[in-house]
Structure 1
């Protein structure tokens, strides 16, 4: 399941006091592990003869989520498909390596643009999230990012904070870090389909045009229309999100009237490829055959005036062609997440027509391997912010005996968080029966192997923050048994029918998920047990969730209908409290067994 749908209200209220105290105290040639270039990407036909044509390099990435340091565990690996049909994993990511790869990729390409598909900030590790993602914006400036769309996580702190990231200025509550005024982004955030409810106008630029020596390429940026359903209500207050296709087609006409005929759409919405390998041949069965999900319908309906789609949100990797409304194949790409990949696309610009020669478009995902020199300026940037974060981030909060992964329908990390919230809930009210955790809120796992000066098995505050960076509260509510059953069914029906969101459940709650069935029937009602006893539809159960779920987030409308509310403290504090109380160097916590949900496939 992709972990993309969780609000983020940052760390300001959690660590402000600690910060005050602490202040006093890459071309493909570099891809040594990659498969041959002819298997990495594909084009839509033969290249035209040179002369009037100018190749323009488009480098793109998406869903960085403030991962400046190399992400750990499965979040820091990509799967590569080999020529013999086997697969292998490659360690990838880290802005020091991303910078080197991008800079190497640009060599020999005087016409080069770097663009992104949103969610560059939000749900970030402590190094960035602690400082309201100013470090990531600084890094993106150094990367020479030209333009990006907004993602849903760009609204985690609301439109005012997004405007500050764009325009600069010190944080209204936490002020200036290191006494230096934040300069803001050197690149434009595009918000074509995000309107101010009062004015009806986009809250930032809807489009941007790159120009060089007579070559003009327009960029239109949109985020998914369903953003209000997956972030906190406060984050999108006063905003209206319009349909992606209608908006792109509207501004494609605007650009066309301005004489811009080459257009790229930056869309924070994505799809699900048939393979998890980054170099999977998405078109092996024909154009559009190897991908499903929302981006397919979007791509099929976006105007033929648009020449390529850079996408994101689903944290998956693909380079596909999907037919446009006129039936012509059009490139649609995504570079997974966390800076592990970037996409290298060649757009051949026809100087006579001002349009892209669509049959000449070529594209491939490239791995951000860690076998290249680190970019010195990024190393210095990370060191600067780490010095500020270290007094907070390096504190030990628990101990583990092995990796606790965050992947899978039921993940060990999800189980651990649910158990922590159940224990926290019982501390507030001993009558608490169970806890439910949304999968999108589990942003990473915990890695056993030492990193930096930390010992093996030590869990630091920084690692805990990476797992749960949202500053949600742990809330208690009363539900009938019938409502608990309905909430479980909403994992695979209603808003979540197409892309299920499987709740992580606390110890004692068990049930069967039958994937051979469809819709709500996939949750086998008769199998739902709490501490061995069947859920009684007429009984009342005290349930712990985070504040996002308690508000009905992620399509769990039933969880927004609880009664007898009790708002507790910070969810990371609950995890920290659980780890501290239940682990020690001599008795570390073992990864949970993930035996609460029985899968039938």
Structure 2
């Protein structure tokens, strides 16, 4: 029997095309630890329904990110609905909570890190403040939340103005820290203990009846290769399934009637945001080993959206698996129906809801207007005011013009790490140019360090904020000495990692079908063949120099000189006073036979 809250929520969110959801009076509700009771009374009998409201990979996108989600039109053709923005996400979540007798709001990681300038310039403090206003209860730390090191992540949790690395904390406000809990049970310190809690139990009261949900929070074990090792000294990231399975007994002993896994790891599926055809990716082998007593898995990391009944893939593991894409463009409403008498989950369902905003003008100059095919949200006032204040504070730097482009430069598509791009070549060129003074001959740039495409204004102008969005990590360039044999080994390791770095100062070809050690061909530095016995000065960012993205071979180099930040190098490269065209591709040639 469906609860009244679910019926009302379905009517509000699914059957009101063209309506605008007004913000909740007084702003977003406060944190919902212990269960937030909305205006709909719980049923006297039958299961207790708890709405787990979830999102993932927000990445500090306080302002609407100029992205859209396709919704189906009357003729079945997709219609773009503009989506995202913290104030709109706040309204969407507040609307869902208002229609649910019991709810909790959670995130599956990367709430911060790799953020646009309005958040990142202030060390992501405004994003934490926005999430406090929204009422987030739990967040499973993602790999990007370790970008500035574990000490800075602890500061985001606990607050304070201690400087833990690059950047000045508390520039606008004294930072109070997150009112929600970070969970990352597989973040293991040298002592053998986890740096963050693994679990939390939340209780929901329905009159005299009580149900409890146990939450497990994990980050991807690949975090070791995805962040600067200098920021996580002595930390290892344990196996996700093993860590989760070890928590189940304790949660059950603590009275948990249902188990929810919040995990910053994910997959990809075909279809729309509520489909799950041909699920693939790193999440699958984790789920295939996960304890069958888990009821709901809220995932992230891949920036994909899906709703999966995992029984279609493994009947013995009927998990409900969800992911809400990226940047707050979607929010998941997952419902667990719990029988308080038998302490069992007797039903579950979920759907992804488009967080539709008021529209935007795209890089192509075309307007993406709101659609009447899905709910439209008004910005929540308190969160909107917070975003406006930080946007204004960042504006003098963000709006500064830095150069001209003849047209847009596009980053590789998600999962397209083997693709050479003009944008990657431009960045590599800028880094080589910035370090020529130190004798640099080659520059290497990792594709996953390029966060977004570079889209000039209609007049071709590029602002500091545009470049910041492309390279938000604050990496420093380093010139290191490698033998030609070591350079060749790095290029070989790319094939194993399925990542092709952009290059400047050299060209080469590769054939993935050849035996390891012989897959790199025709490698040249300038016009001369790469000499295995010679020594070359190679520019890399400090993330790569310390073995980031799994390039352990790059740690073998000898430091020669430092350089500017990657962002400063790109700014200087574009400050020519003339329009800059896209660098030609073809520096890297794929000669793998097509079968």
TM-score bin (small chain) = 0.7 to 0.9
- Residue 253 of structure 1: CA displacement? 0.9
The yes-or-no answer on 1:393 pairing with 2:398 is yes
Correspondent of 2:544 among 539, 549, 552: 549
Q: Which has the higher contact order (CA 8 A, sep 6+)?
A: 1
Which segments of 5 or more consecutive residues in structure 2 lack a partner in the other structure? 1-11, 20-42, 358-369, 371-375, 414-418
Which residues of 2 match residues 201-240 of structure 1 at below 5 A? 201-213=193-205, 214-240=210-236
Preserved contact between residue 446 and residue 463 of structure 1 (Cα < 8 Å): yes
- Residue 483 of structure 1: CA displacement? 2.4
TM-superposition CA deviations, 1:340-385 (whole Å, max 9, x none)? 222222222122222222xx32222222222332222222111111
Q: Which moved more, 1:404-413 or 1:530-539?
A: 530-539
Preserved contact between residue 257 and residue 338 of structure 2 (Cα < 8 Å): no
Which segments of 5 or more consecutive residues in structure 1 lack a partner in the other structure? 1-25, 34-48, 284-289, 451-455
- Residue 593 of structure 1: CA displacement? 4.3
- Residue 336 of structure 1: CA displacement? 1.8
Tell me the residue number matched to 1:356: 345
How far, CA to CA, are the matches of 2:468 and 2:181 in structure 1? 29
Tell me the residue number matched to 1:5: none
The yes-or-no answer on 1:565 pairing with 2:560 is yes
Q: What is the TM-score with the length of structure 2 in the denominator? A: 0.82
In structure 2, relative to structure 1, the CA distance for the partners of 1:83 and 1:300 (3 Å cut) is: farther
Which residues of 2 match residues 16-415 of structure 1 at below 5 A? 27-28=13-14, 51-72=45-66, 76-78=67-69, 89-172=80-163, 174-178=168-172, 180-198=173-191, 200-213=192-205, 214-273=210-269, 275=270, 277-279=271-273, 281-283=275-277, 290-323=278-311, 327-357=316-346, 360-370=347-357, 371=370, 372=376, 373-408=378-413, 409-415=419-425
CA root-mean-square deviation: 2.8
Q: How many equivalent residue pairs? A: 527
Q: Which moved more, 1:299-308 or 1:83-92?
A: 83-92
How far, CA to CA, are the matches of 1:547 and 1:175 in structure 2? 22
How far, CA to CA, are the matches of 2:79 and 2:422 in structure 1? 23
TM-superposition CA deviations, 1:161-199 (whole Å, max 9, x none)? 222211222243735333x4212111111122223323x
How far, CA to CA, are the matches of 1:510 and 1:156 in structure 2? 31
What SS does the corresponding residue of 1:491 show, helix, strand or coil? helix
What SS does the corresponding residue of 1:361 show, helix, strand or coil? strand
In structure 2, relative to structure 1, the CA distance for the partners of 1:545 and 1:82 (3 Å cut) is: farther
What SS does the corresponding residue of 1:492 show, helix, strand or coil? helix
In structure 2, relative to structure 1, the CA distance for the partners of 1:375 and 1:507 (3 Å cut) is: farther
How far, CA to CA, are the matches of 2:44 and 2:489 in structure 1? 62
Preserved contact between residue 211 and residue 256 of structure 2 (Cα < 8 Å): no
Q: Which moved more, 1:85-94 or 1:120-129?
A: 85-94
Q: Which moved more, 1:589-598 or 1:116-125?
A: 589-598
Tell me the residue number matched to 2:474: 471
Correspondent of 1:436 among 433, 438, 444: 444
In structure 2, relative to structure 1, the CA distance for the partners of 1:152 and 1:519 (3 Å cut) is: farther
What SS does the corresponding residue of 1:177 show, helix, strand or coil? coil
